[in-house]
Chains A and B, each alone.
Chain A
Amino acid sequence: MRARRWSVAAGALGLVLMASGCGDGGGDGDQVEVFSWWTGGGEEAGLNALIERFEEDNPDIEFVNAAVAGGSGTNAQAVLEGRLQSQDPPDSFQGHAGAELQDYIEAGYLAPMDDFFDEQGLQDALPDQLVEQITYDGSVYSVPVNIHRSNVMWFNPTLLEEAGVDAPPETLDELLDALEAVAEETDAIPMAVGAQWTVSHLLESVLLGSLGGDTYNSLWEPGADWNTSEVADALSTFEQIMEHTQEESAAEDWQEAARRVSDGEAAFNIMGDWAAGYFEEVGALPGQDYDWAASPGTDGTYMWLSDSFTLPAGAPNEEAALTWLELVASQEGQDLFNPLKGSIPAREDADPERYADNPYLESALEEWQSEPELAGSFWHGVTVGNRWKNDVDTAVGLYLGDGDAEAFNDALHQAAQSE
């Protein structure tokens, strides 16, 4: 009796060991494990469309969807970090293109993809400035699949009319006048913001609008000088805009702030273009409940952020991973994914037909294909790595508490020196 119990226990242990052994994937070439944090809404729908096409084209490769839910990627990144450190990388993983991948690159977790870019003709298909901005030490490390825009100003047309503002403001000075007019003529909140990170998000659009693309981009070079009168001017504009925001902003996230615009409670909100998907979700009508323009002073500049897929060094199924990346990089793949995700393709040769039934995406694609100037979003990890980004966010948070503009400018300068 006892012997039998032992053998059962041993058998169970064996099964557990076997199961955990299987989990590794084993690198037998007939599967590909793709890691992402796309587990809901349009993101998941887009990913599923890609998976479906991949399985159709490659019936002999099993697709393993290793998506981790929660926290817009923070949970996934913690899991990923553990896997990379224990040298158990997935075959490909999602990451924001640009400096956010820097830590991984420096740690040697990523394989350079220059040959892949040449083979697939991505140097030509992607805007030159985009390739330049995702190049690190002369190499590219990820394939951008989509483009989101950070510098979008959402506004409520009815409230603007009520306040006597004829056209959406095109410069920051016009914006300040418009905010003033809204405050005087209506009961609405002039500029809606949300929790601290949305203020950081507003800051990058104000910096870009005040300084212009070149100066803005140069601010994110390590060791850049932030103690200039131009930056001080931009921050003073920022301060004036912040005076027109609602008191309770810290208790709201970006959705609540955006919704204030479409509900007619606030006149303006500056938020990335994922707000378009949110407005659609809550049933707001474009042109009526809300409308959009480039944030003031940034017309013709596209402040971008992008999801991209990587090839980890030592990926167990490199061949299959490259097949996946080929699909992700192709015009067909990007046109499958993006209409569902609510973003536009990174490639310039997308088919506008596929975006025609979404007014925002249609206008965004048109803008992207007309060769705008490109600036990277700091908040979304294009221009700076996590440490610098966190330092800026901390400076913003402290500034929200004490309102000390000088200390704020100084903290931003210090953040640039510490990299």
Chain B
Amino acid sequence: MSTAQNPSGVAHGDPGPTSAPARPPRGRRALHRARTWLPGLLLVSPSILLIGVFVYGMIGWNTRLALSDKHAPVQEGEFVGFVNFVALWQEARWPAAVANAVVFTVVFVGGALFLGWLLGLLLDKGIRGEPVFRTLFLAPMAVSFIATGVVWRWLMNPAPAERATGLNALFVHFNLDFLVNDWWTAPDFGMAAMALPAIWQLAGYIMALFLAGFRGVPEDLREAARVDGCSEWGVYRHVVMPQLRPVLLSAVIILGHMSLKVFDLIIAIAGQQIVADVPAVYMWAMVFEVRDPAKGATIASYLLFAVALFVIPYLVWTVRKERSEGR
């Protein structure tokens, strides 16, 4: 911390040669030094302690369970290595659940990014009543996944044309019968439909991120490009977009980790059915219904690993950026 400048310009804090004090005794000096780091440590120690126990301690505990054969709450559980991790891939349910999660993630992240970016771009061009649109697009964020799921469960009713309700009924009404479909109950790519409510809910948030990004690009840069004869699209393509990479990265990470651990939306729309099975739902069934701690912990480890794949590159990138900016 730098000392404040004295308005009179006279340096102070220098006691002068005559009153040079005797060096404080050793103990006092240590205490004095402790004063600089101790309060800080005391301030953060509760969170270090809590995070240590409830995050890293629990992760350790979970890993221990996953590496054991504790397949019932009453068993002691011996260390068995990666047996559980391998066994999951040999059954029929787990690979299907993973495939579902991948389809969901690709459609959800891609869809929300594209829609959010598009909405942000349109708002950035300055339309009338922008605050109204901004609020409207953001509003779905305030709804919980459960409520979204209940509504979309009805909208995406897979009944055929003669009994159609929800969106299918709308298609029938406008003579668009070819659009009537099975939505999320389709066996192979049903999870793509499951991603629609999630896109609806998160696109507004992504829009806000992109809009902030667009606004953060100085007008001078755009002007300069225009003077150089760049088209309006060219300005976005070559000047604005490259500056949005940090926004894009944050958005991908936020969407990606939400998507991998999605649970409530699936439960609200499909309940526990194999057609819409994802790792988080499978884990819940193993822990709370079958009561198989080891298997539940194994799935949890895979989930953590998958989320880490998204988050760790982001952390590395952030730290590097902060270092290079000298923060």
With known contacts A81-B73, A250-B158, A390-B285, A397–B290 Cβ distance under 8 A:
no
A74 and B289 in contact (CB under 8 A), knowing A107-B74, A195-B271?
Answer: yes
**With contacts A248-B185, A251-B157 known, is A196 near B274, CB below 8 A?**
yes
Within 8 A of A (CB), among B81-103: 92-93, 96
Of B157, B159, B182, B288, which is within 8 A of A78 by CB? Answer: B288
Q: Are A108 and B74 in contact (CB under 8 A)?
A: yes
B-contact bits for A236-253, CB 8 A (1 contact / 0 none): 000000000011101101
CB of A397 within 8 A of CB of B163, answer: no
Take A248-B160, A248-B163, A402-B187 as given contacts and tell me if A394 and B274 are in contact as well, using a CB distance cutoff of 8 Å.
yes
Closest to B154 in A: A251
Contact, CB under 8 Å: B273 / A196: yes
Contact residues on B (Cβ < 8 Å of other chain), bracket: 20 to 34
> 23 interchain pairs (CB within 8 A)?
A77-B288, A81-B73, A103-B73, A103-B74, A106-B72, A107-B73, A187-B162, A195-B271, A196-B271, A196-B272, A196-B273, A197-B272, A246-B159, A247-B185, A248-B185, A250-B270, A250-B275, A251-B270, A253-B271, A386-B289, A386-B291, A394-B92, A397-B93
Task: Tell me, in angstroms, the Cα distance from A253 to B270 when the chains sit together.
Answer: 10
Q: Are A247 and B274 in contact (CB under 8 A)?
A: no
Q: Which of A46-61 contact B (CB under 8 A)?
A: none
List the 5 shortest-distance A-B pairs measured between CB atoms, nearest first.
Answer: A397-B274, A248-B159, A196-B273, A107-B74, A250-B185
Which residues of chain A from 23 to 81 have any CB-CB distance to chain B below 8 Å in the complex? 74, 77-78, 81
Interface residues of B (CB under 8 A from A): 72-74, 92-93, 96, 153, 156-160, 162-163, 182-183, 185, 187, 270-275, 277, 285, 288-292
| B187 partner, pick from A196, A246, A387, A401, beta carbons under 8 A | A401
Per-residue CB proximity of A84-121 to B under 8 Å, as 1/0? 01000000000000000001001110000000000000
A327 within 8 A of B: no
5 further contact pairs, Cβ within 8 A, besides A81-B73, A251-B156, A398-B274:
A107-B74, A196-B273, A251-B157, A387-B292, A390-B285
How many A residues touch the partner, as a band?
Answer: 20 to 34
Q: Are A397 and B182 in contact, CB atoms less than 8 angstroms apart?
A: no
A384-419 residues with Cβ-Cβ distance < 8 A to B are 386-387, 390, 394, 396-398, 400-402, 407, 411
Which residues of chain A are near B292, meaning CB under 8 Å?
A: 387
With both beta carbons as reference points, the residue of chain B lying nearest to A106 in the complex is identified as B74
* Contact between B73 and A247, CB atoms less than 8 A apart: no
Query: Within the assembled complex, what's the spacing in Å between the Cα atoms of A371 and B187?
Result: 45
CB neighbours of B271 from chain A (8 A): 195-196, 253
CA distance A402 to B274 in the complex (A): 11
Q: Please indicate the chain A residues that have their CB under 8 angstroms from the CB of B187 in the complex.
A: 401-402
